[in-house]
Amino acid sequence: MIRAGKLDRRIVIERETEMVDDAGRVARAWAPIATVRAELVTFTVEEEARAFGEASPADLVFKLRYLPGIRTADRVSYNGKAFNIRRIVEIGRRRGMELRVETSE
């Protein structure tokens, strides 16, 4: 179960979309699909299992209430930075989800 008090961060989940401008050119842009409250998890079991020095400080884990339709092709915007979603883990039976993200460079 995810406690509401721990959801102290605001993240924006974005999806890449294609738009056609007046000249007929196709442009790609990121459009927000959801703004949600999340918990930033700083230390996970997976990080503990990694060898010392291999963990990147740019990798983050967010826990949030279950939101259907999220894909690994989407990205998370947090604190003015964009992060690619590399893994989605369902918590319970659609009670919550864990988004494992990395910086998009």
The answer to whether the beta carbons of residues 77 and 12 sit under 8 Å apart is yes
* Spatial CB neighbours of 66, under 8 Å, sequence gap ≥ 6: 90, 91, 94, 95, 96, 97
The residue ranking higher by pLDDT, 105 or 21, is 21
* Spatial CB neighbours of 102, under 8 Å, sequence gap ≥ 6: 56, 58, 59, 60, 83, 84, 86
**Which stretch of DSSP H or E encloses residue 48?**
helix 45-49
pLDDT of 58 reads 60
Going from N- to C-terminal start, the domains of the chain cover: 4-103
- pTM recorded for the entire structure: 0.78
Mean pLDDT of 74-78: 96
Copy the structure tokens of residue 66: 């279950």
Look at residues 79, 61, 15, 65 and name the one whose alpha carbon lies nearest to residue 36.
65
pLDDT digits (tens, 9 = 90+) for 10-50: 999 999 999 888 888 999 999 999 999 999 987 545 555 55
Look at residues 13, 15, 59, 61 and name the one whose alpha carbon lies nearest to residue 36.
13
pLDDT of 95 reads 92
CATH homologous superfamily for 4-103? Bacteriophage SPP1 head-tail adaptor protein (2.40.10.270)
What gap in Å lies between CA 96 and CA 81, rounded to an integer? 23
